[in-house]
Amino acid sequence: MRVASARRSVPPEGRDLAAGALVEFGLRCNSCGAPYPSVGAQEILTCTYCGTTQRMVDARQFLDHFTAQVTAYLRQTIPPGAEVGAGGTVDATARLAAFNTSVRPGLAVESDQYRFALFNLLAAPFAVLPFLAPRPPPAPVSAAAISMFVAKVQSVGPLAVDEASREMTLRATGLASAYQSLIVTADLLRGTKPERFHLAAENLTNASAAVGSLRRWAPVAGRLEALALQARAADQVAGGRPEEARPLLGSAGSKLAEAGGLLSATPEIGFMSTPVEQELALVRALGSMAAIVSDSAPVSPHPLVYLQRLGATLDGLAQALPGDWGAGYRAPFRWEEILARASEARRAQAGLGAVRSVAYGGGILVPFWEVELPYNFETGVLWTKKGREVSERLLIAATFPTDPANLAGPGVYRPLTDVFALGRGATGSGRFYDRMTGKEQKISESGSLAALLQSATPTSIAGRPAAPPLTSRHEALKLVRAYLNEVRAAHPKLAAQLRTSSPRVLDLVYVPCTVPGSPPVPGLGALSPLSVGDPQALLGLAS
Ligand SMILES: [Zn+2]
Residue 175 CA to ligand 1 center (angstroms) comes to 19
SS3 content of the chain, % helix, strand, coil (to 5): 55, 10, 30
Element spanning 526, H or E: none
Give the separation between CA 143 and CA 349, rounded to whole angstroms: 46
- Kindly report the number of other CB atoms within 10 A of residue 287's CB atom: 23
What gap in Å lies between CA 499 and CA 375, rounded to an integer? 7
CA of 53 to the centre of ligand 1 (A): 8
Question: How many angstroms separate the Cα of 274 from the Cα of each of 107, 124, 436?
Answer: 31, 8, 56
Which pLDDT score is estimated for 444?
Answer: 83
Query: Strand locations in 76-214, DSSP E?
Result: none
Q: Which residues pair with 456 in a beta bridge?
A: 358
Length of the chain measured in residues: 543
- Distance in Å, CA 34 to ligand 1 centroid: 5
Asked if residue 11 has a cis previous peptide bond (ω within 30° of 0), the answer is no
Distance CA 167, CA 179 (A): 18
- For residues 425 and 431, what is the distance between their CA atoms, to the nearest angstrom? 11
Report CA(209)–ligand 1 centroid distance (Å): 18
Å from CA of 174 to ligand 1 middle: 18
What is the rounded distance in angstroms from the CA atom of residue 67 to the CA atom of residue 24? 7
Q: Residue 375: which H helix or E strand, with range?
A: strand 364-379
Question: pLDDT (tens digit, 0 to 9) for every residue of the chain, 543 residues total?
Answer: 444 443 444 333 333 333 344 567 899 999 999 998 877 778 899 999 999 999 999 999 999 999 999 999 988 888 776 666 555 556 888 888 889 998 999 999 999 999 999 999 999 998 888 998 766 778 889 999 999 999 999 999 888 989 999 999 999 999 999 999 999 999 998 888 999 999 999 999 999 999 998 988 999 999 999 999 999 999 999 999 999 999 999 999 999 999 999 999 998 899 999 999 999 999 999 999 999 999 999 999 999 999 999 999 999 999 999 888 999 998 999 999 999 999 999 999 999 999 999 988 889 999 999 999 998 888 877 777 888 888 899 999 999 999 999 998 999 999 999 988 755 554 444 555 666 667 777 888 888 899 999 999 999 999 999 999 999 999 999 999 999 999 888 888 888 888 767 899 999 999 999 999 889 999 898 899 999 999 999 999 998
Give the whole-angstrom CA distance, residue 151 versus residue 87.
20
> Residue 75 and residue 146: Cα distance in Å, rounded?
19
Ligand 1: distance of its center to the CA of 1 in Å?
10
Query: What local confidence, expressed as pLDDT, does residue 436 receive?
Result: 63
Q: How far is the CA of 327 from the centre of ligand 1 (A)?
A: 33
Query: What residues sit around ligand 1, an ion, with C-beta below 5 angstroms?
Result: 29, 31-32, 34, 47, 49-50, 52
267 CA to centre of ligand 1 in angstroms: 34
282 Cα–ligand 1 center, Å: 27
Contact 479, 400 (CB under 8 A): yes
Q: Tell me if 282 sits within 8 A of 340, measured CB to CB.
A: no
Output the CA 51–ligand 1 centroid distance in Å.
Answer: 6
Tell me what pLDDT residue 381 has.
76
Q: How many angstroms separate the alpha carbon of residue 54 from the centre of ligand 1?
A: 9
What's the 103 CA to ligand 1 centre distance in angstroms?
29
Give the distance (Å) from ligand 1 centre to CA of residue 279.
26
The rounded distance, in Å, linking the Cα atoms of 244 and 233 is: 7
* CA of 224 relative to ligand 1 center, distance in Å: 19
Residue 239 C-alpha to ligand 1 middle, in angstroms? 23
**pTM of the full structure:** 0.89
